[in-house]
Structure 1
Amino acid sequence: MPAIVGPVAINSVGGGVLNFGDSFYISPKSASKTSAGSGALNTGNFIITNNGLSATNTIDPDVNDQDIVGNS
């Protein structure tokens, strides 16, 4: 549905999608990867994590997980 958008001032966008009017398909413009060891990303009030030995494999043989080339 067409939209009429008045004056807009955007001071900063710290991630996410900013969309005005119609859109059929919105895709991400950035991609990231996080590697963390055992028990590293736990959240909560009372966490007890018992880890004997933790090793995180950060080897990525396929290199590209989510291509953003040509997605402008």
Structure 2
Amino acid sequence: MPALVGPVQIVSVGGGVVTFGDTFYVSPKSASKTAAGSGGFNTGNFINTNTGFSATNAIDPDLADQNIVANA
């Protein structure tokens, strides 16, 4: 049965799905890319990382890595 939804204001949605009315198929999509140097994602207590010289190439020559089109 179709649903009538009144005025709605959504300021922010982080990591969730918002649906109104009848929903047959929901396929949320997201893509991200992260670049970090050696020892960049270490977590814990008392980490000692000896890397000498570290350089991260953040140049990305291709135009699109993960295309997200429509909701199919």
State whether TM-score is above 0.5.
yes
Q: Which one-letter code corresponds to 2:57 in the other structure?
A: N
> Is 1:37 aligned to 2:37, yes or no?
yes
Q: What SS does structure 2 have at the residue aligned with 1:68?
A: coil
Number of positions where the alignment pairs a residue of Structure 1 with one of Structure 2 = 61
Deviation sequence 1:6-59 (CA, Å, 0-9, x none): xxxx9853114457x764x7341x322111111111111221111100010112
Q: Which one-letter code corresponds to 2:64 in the other structure?
A: N
TM (normalized to structure 2)? 0.58
Q: Given the superposition, is the C-alpha separation of residues 48 and 22 from structure 1 closer, same or farther in structure 2, using an over 3 Å criterion?
A: farther
**Root-mean-square deviation (Å):** 2.8
1:25-64 maps to which residues of 2 (within 5 A)? 26-28=27-29, 30-64=30-64
Seq. identity, %: 63
Q: Which one-letter code corresponds to 2:27 in the other structure?
A: I
Larger radius of gyration: 2
2:66 equivalent in structure 1: 66
> Which residues of structure 2 form unaligned runs of 5+?
1-9
> Which residues of structure 1 form unaligned runs of 5+?
1-9
